[in-house]
Amino acid sequence: MVDFARVQKELQECNRDVDVSGISVKPKADNLTRLVGTIPGPVGTPYEGGTFTIDIALPDGYPFEPPKMQFATKVWHPNISSQSGAICLDILKDQWSPALTLKTALLSIQALLSSPEPDDPQDAVVAQQYRREYQTFVGTARYWTETFAKASSLGDEEKVQRLVEMGFSESLVRNTLKDVGGDENMALEKLLSA
């Protein structure tokens, strides 16, 4: 059975210094087993300036079993699935300890954004790009951060420019954006699946 007193205490601890860490955790509705965490993208990385949302589900055995965490915000990273948001991180699996908290888990995820482990990937395509075409990886990760982790409304030319920087031809980008009514996220998904 989930230790709800501990969860309440952890929520208070997480949200106490949110101004400093940028990390917060809140319950989804009134359910303390379904939470939403947010972490800022680390400075000096392609994720800088983004705010990433992480879905957290506490199993019945929490804190003796690790929380189930996955990115709700799309992110381009070797250890995070670009499709599902699943996270490959040892403390969320076999290295979990009841001494760890939701905050330490979120801090570890934030640290993972700073130092990817391409040799133990969750997303093989991203890991391959990271190892073979690092600058393209950085550009794509930055683009995904701009697109999915920052609330901004860009003009059409900026959308075209950003998609072209990812390696798509300008005419293909313009046609795809037109097909999806200017929705950059839908255009990107269509371009990636083409």
The residues annotated with a catalytic role in the active site are 88
The helix/strand/coil state of 65 is coil
Contact 24, 35 (CB under 8 A): no
Phi, psi of 15 (to 5 degrees): -90, -5
The DSSP string of 134-153 is HHHHHHHHHHHIIIIIS---
Residues 6 or more apart in contact with residue 132 via CB below 8 angstroms: none
Cα separations in angstroms, 83 against 17, 72, 101, 130 = 32, 10, 27, 17
| Structure-token pair, residue 159 | 């959308």
Residue located via tokens 């997480």: 14
Measured N-to-C along each axis, helices 134-144 and 124-132 cross at an angle, to the nearest 10 degrees, of: 130
Q: What's the length of the chain?
A: 194
Q: Give the integer Cα–Cα distance in Å for 114 and 81.
A: 16
